Amino acid sequence: MKRVLILSASIGSGHIKAAEAAAEELHRQQPGLELIMVDFMSREVSTVHWLLKKLYLLMLALMPDFYDRCYKFAGGKQSGKLSNRAFACVTLPALRRLVRRYEPDMIFCTHPFPEGAAALLKQHGHDGRWKLAAMMTDYSLHQIWLYQGVDAYFMATEAMREGMLARGYEPGCLHVTGIPVSAGLLKLPDKAAQRRALGLEELPTVLLMGGGLGLGGIEHTLAELEGLPGRLQLLVIAGRNEKLLARVKELAACSHHMVKAWGYTDEAHALMRASDLLITKPGALTISEAFVLGLPMLLHDPIPGPETENAVYATKRGAAVWLHPGERLAPAVAELLAGHLSEMGACAAACARPRAAAAVAEVLGKMI
């Protein structure tokens, strides 16, 4: 039995969701494969990795400008290679342990940290019989993903492929598939039926999401929307942020809108289907899911670096409005609900790659 080691990272939820979507489709196409999913940044894998994740989240919360500078530094050709090498060396011991434990025939990564360690291990000729593939879970190309020794790269856009060709990568290893999303998105009922199934009212419905970490100023957004005179149905996914969830429930008790809140939930796709507008940080996986559902987006508070590029991508294609610092959210929501959503929904659907997971699985199946 062939064995595929799938390495992701619990920094947000997008990397893991992309890995799960690809794994689900790979299992459907190749049921004889043994698929092993590992969170590369978990404490069980490495205390050092877990501390790196905590440091990353702390930096985002307290020093976002510093993180932005680090991201730009790592994007330079020479400085980026140095950064890549440094992270790969730090994460290499854990990767070597995983390879010895599972003896994979293929390693598939949806985060650059395990990818870098695996590429370095292959370059050194240790345990290098396995194939290495990477799914870039962004809508822009960045040096942090680029390593020698990767047998297949999967990416969201043709522009990313052109950028890698310009850097000398072989065309045969570059695959523009889109970012994998769950096949369940295509099986959801229509909006009205989904609202009935969730017990929701027939009101203009806005979904607020902050990713798996519950980031994105959701409490402030609710306060702004309270100033809109018409009654809205506001659905809030607080992720793993328990303090935010409790606070939203408190606000719901005194709001003139219909406010409902969830923590980290399996109902996220159903709630997206039931909504007219999504207010969210521009995580690549969230944007990809919204594209498939034809769901218009109001984007705000991107994490500096990749999420900023994601916001640029969705906005340029007419699928989203990007709310910049200093711009008021409530008037933007009122304007969108008044008449721009249909056109934006069509633009979102035009960007969709609903078969991304299947396309990734087809290539991986041929490689192994």
Cα maximum dimension of the chain:
65
Q: Tokens 């996986």 correspond to what residue?
A: 285
According to the model, what pLDDT value does residue 274 have?
97
188-350 shares the fold of 3-181+355-367: yes
Which one-letter amino acid corresponds to residue 76? G
Phi, psi of 51 (to 5 degrees): -70, -35
In the chain, what are the domain boundaries? 3-181+355-367, 188-350
Query: How confident is the prediction along the chain (368 residues), in pLDDT tens digits per residue?
Result: 899 999 999 887 789 999 999 999 999 999 999 999 999 999 999 998 889 888 877 776 676 676 667 666 666 666 667 777 787 888 999 999 999 999 999 999 999 999 999 999 988 765 558 999 999 999 999 999 999 889 999 999 999 999 999 999 999 999 999 999 999 999 999 999 999 999 999 999 999 987 545 455 788 889 899 999 889 999 999 887 888 889 999 988 899 999 999 988 889 999 999 999 999 989 999 999 999 999 999 998 887 778 899 999 999 999 999 998 888 899 999 999 998 899 999 999 999 999 999 999 999 999 98
Please, is 312 exposed, middle or buried when counting C-beta atoms within 10 Å of its C-beta (0-12, 13-18, 19+)? middle
Q: Which fold has domain 188-350?
A: Rossmann fold (3.40.50)
Which one-letter amino acid corresponds to residue 135? M
Strands 34-39 and 3-8: parallel
Strands 233-237 and 258-262: parallel
CB neighbours (10 Å) of residue 152? 20
Quote the CA–CA distance of 118 and 112 in Å, as a whole number: 10
> Would the pTM count as exceeding 0.75?
yes
Quote the CA–CA distance of 161 and 191 in Å, as a whole number: 35
DSSP states of 318-346 as a string?
Answer: TSEEE--TT--HHHHHHHHHTTTHHHHHH
SS (H, E, C) 251-296: HHHCCCCEEEEECCCCCHHHHHHHCCEEEECCCHHHHHHHHHHCCC
Q: Determine contact, residues 233/277, Cβ cutoff 8 Å.
A: no
Quote the CA–CA distance of 85 and 90 in Å, as a whole number: 9
3-181+355-367: CATH number:
3.40.50.2000
- In the numeric block, which tokens belong to residue 317? 């294609």
Q: Tokens 């519950």 correspond to what residue?
A: 214
Which one-letter amino acid corresponds to residue 28? R
Report the residue count for the chain: 368
- Give the model confidence (pLDDT) of 288-333 as tens digits: 999 999 999 999 888 777 889 999 999 999 999 999 888 889 999 9
Quote the CA–CA distance of 188 and 238 in Å, as a whole number: 22
